[in-house]
Chain A
Amino acid sequence: MKEKKDVLILAIESSCDETAAAVVKNGREVLSNVISSQIELHKLYGGVVPEIASRKHIEKINQVIEEALKEADIKLDDCDAIGVTYGPGLVGALLVGVAEAKAIAYAKDLPLVGVHHIEGHISANYIENKELKPPFICLVVSGGHTHLVCVKDYGEYEIIGRTRDDAAGEAFDKVARAIGLGYPGGPKIDKLSKEGNADAIAFPKAHVEDGPYDFSFSGVKSSVLNYINGCKMKGDDYSCADIAASFQKAVTEVLVENAMRAVKEYGMDKLAIAGGVASNSTLRAAMEKACEENNIRFFHPSPIYCTDNAAMIGVAAYYEYEKGVRHGWDLNAVPNLKLGER
């Protein structure tokens, strides 16, 4: 039998505040994964400033790509395709990666494969779980996204639930700011909540009545803010650790409930989580427990593949590449790109 030639993809990601490049072999093996984070810069402003993010991307992008090639010990000529995130995300930030990827692909006469950022997050699960194949349900939770997705096949998605307002990670950031933890809020709330009592305060759950798989996080966020204001007005002390733990529990419970409902309703035996909030330890533990109780296999990426990175884009690009997806030199950044659109 003739052996199939290896496919090497150089992938670029610049949709928000990480400038990243990676080399991925055959869609599953990460040869390099370089991330230049801008978090320190944006901390000064309490959140990501789009113009500053874009400026930092253009400053760092070549260095990050060169490091990714070096670490993978390959040359551009060894690559079979260039993958790049073209949406959703901050338009100015996306454009840096898209223009760079197009120019490299053009100059080297390589195929260009545009990737949906969320498809990247979902695909991060393939890196460390070699046995994971579609179909499965995936919960994508990050600072910008909260989606419950049915992954029917590689590159084929049905969004079955989504947030009606704030993304889960956004709610974490806002609550973190309210209790003086600063940005980014997710990891800080996760840490502080370990010292708090999750049953201390009953915050409302983020259910949506007319959508069994949808979420709403602005209500729980507001009730946290109201609780703090109420305490302040009465001159009562309040425990930030209890607030963090109780808030986190309210968010986690609805994420788990909706995900388990989807798994059952769609007759799946596999559940994966993805995105920045997927590294939250409480969410992971709760998902793991629920899956175990329901005899469902649970998958999650390591934290390094949960955060925005280019390795996940390389994985998604590989499956798109294999399907024959190619983008033209007029590829544009699409800030509100829908999952499954090409």
Chain B
Amino acid sequence: MRILALDSSGLVATVAVVEEDKTIAEYTVNYKKTHSQTLLPMLDEVVRMTEMDLTSIDAIAVAAGPGSFTGLRIGSATAKGLGLALDKPLIHIPTVDALAYNIFGTSRIICPMMDARRNQVYTGLYRFETAFQVVEEQMAAGVDEIVEKINKRGEPVVFLGDGVPVQEQYLNEHVEVDYLIAPSHLNRQRAAAVGTLALSYYKKGRLESAKDHQPDYLRLSQAERERMEREKAEEKNVGNQDD
């Protein structure tokens, strides 16, 4: 089985072709150029270097959120276009799960943190027992909330992701358990991890059509959020008048 995997959820653009027993190719760039300019040329390079016939892939996996809204859509639209043109299914991989999957076989709790701005991180908690397990599903949360969960568990932890350098001081001051920060080769999105995780999704039949796929932002747009707050406030006012 052969999976083409894409991740453009954060600053990193990464493309990989993964099979059960090995990664055929991975191209990862952590540079300021927009994903719109990098992602497809990177895929083209991977295909040419490996002399791959694109029709030989079984599915297209994409890190489908959370992440930068625009970045997610570039990844998803690319995956949807490829899926439509090649008539292949898509595999929707939660971004934070794939990030956690960079770490393997540790007895520590794995805590990815992506910078989500507005003083939040996209995070979750994961562990390996006999297999990779989701302890706390991916979420948008304040760093204090996730650190509180970690402290309550009391188990050693490993942090990774682009939210870690942003929150380093907070972690330093508030994490009460033994913790490590993953090194450079493991601490950002990598499409090989997305693709490898997708292999298990494929075997479980967790596929979707290119037509139905859309990112999972974990957040409403600002306009929707403000409208809901406004409506809530209006409801409250109406309720108060009734009293």
A residues neighboring B (CB under 8 Å): 44-45, 49, 51-52, 54-55, 57-59, 61-63, 65-66, 76, 91-92, 95-104, 106-108, 328-333
Contact = CB atoms under 8 A, between A and B. Distances in A.
A76 B78 CA distance: 16
B69 A107 contact: no
Contact of A99 (B73, B85, B221, B223): B73
Given A55-B221, A103-B85, A107-B81, 7 more contacts: A51-B221, A55-B69, A92-B69, A95-B70, A99-B78, A103-B81, A104-B85
Classify chain B: how many residues form its interface, as a range. 35 or more
17 contacts: A51-B69, A52-B221, A52-B223, A54-B73, A55-B73, A58-B80, A59-B214, A97-B77, A99-B81, A100-B80, A104-B82, A106-B85, A107-B85, A107-B86, A329-B44, A330-B37, A332-B34
Contacts of A55: 69, 73, 214, 217, 221
B80 A61 contact: yes
A95 B41 CA distance: 16
B206 interface: no
Interface of B is mostly: helix
Contacts of A104: 81-82, 84-85
B40 interface: yes
Nearest to A101: B81
A103 B36 contact: no
B117 interface: no
A52 B210 contact: no
Contact of B77 (A45, A51, A58, A108): A58
B77 A100 contact: yes
Interface string B53-95: 0100000000000000110011011111111111000000000
B224 interface: yes
B211 interface: yes
Nearest to B224: A52
A332 B36 contact: yes
A99 B43 contact: no
Contacts of B227: 44-45
Contacts of A328: 41
B215 interface: yes
A169 to B, nearest CB: 21
A330 B73 contact: no
Nearest to B44: A329
Interface of A is mostly: helix
Given A99-B36, A330-B40, A330-B41, A65 B84 contact: yes
A62 B70 contact: no
B200 to A, nearest CB: 25
A59 B81 CA distance: 12
A144 B216 CA distance: 30
B172 interface: no
A96 B41 contact: no
6 closest Cβ pairs, A-B complex: A103-B81, A107-B85, A99-B77, A51-B221, A329-B40, A62-B211
Contacts of A95: 36, 70, 73-74, 77
Given A58-B80, A61-B80, A103 B69 contact: no
Question: Which one of B34, B40, B54, B213 has the highest number of Cβ atoms from chain A below 10 Å of its Cβ?
Answer: B40
B184 interface: no
Contact of A102 (B70, B73, B81, B83): B81
Contacts of B241: none
B222 interface: yes
B81 A100 contact: yes
A91 B38 CA distance: 16
Contacts of A99: 36, 39-40, 73-74, 77-78, 81
Given A102-B40, A329-B44, A96 B73 contact: yes
A62 B79 CA distance: 11
A189 B138 CA distance: 48
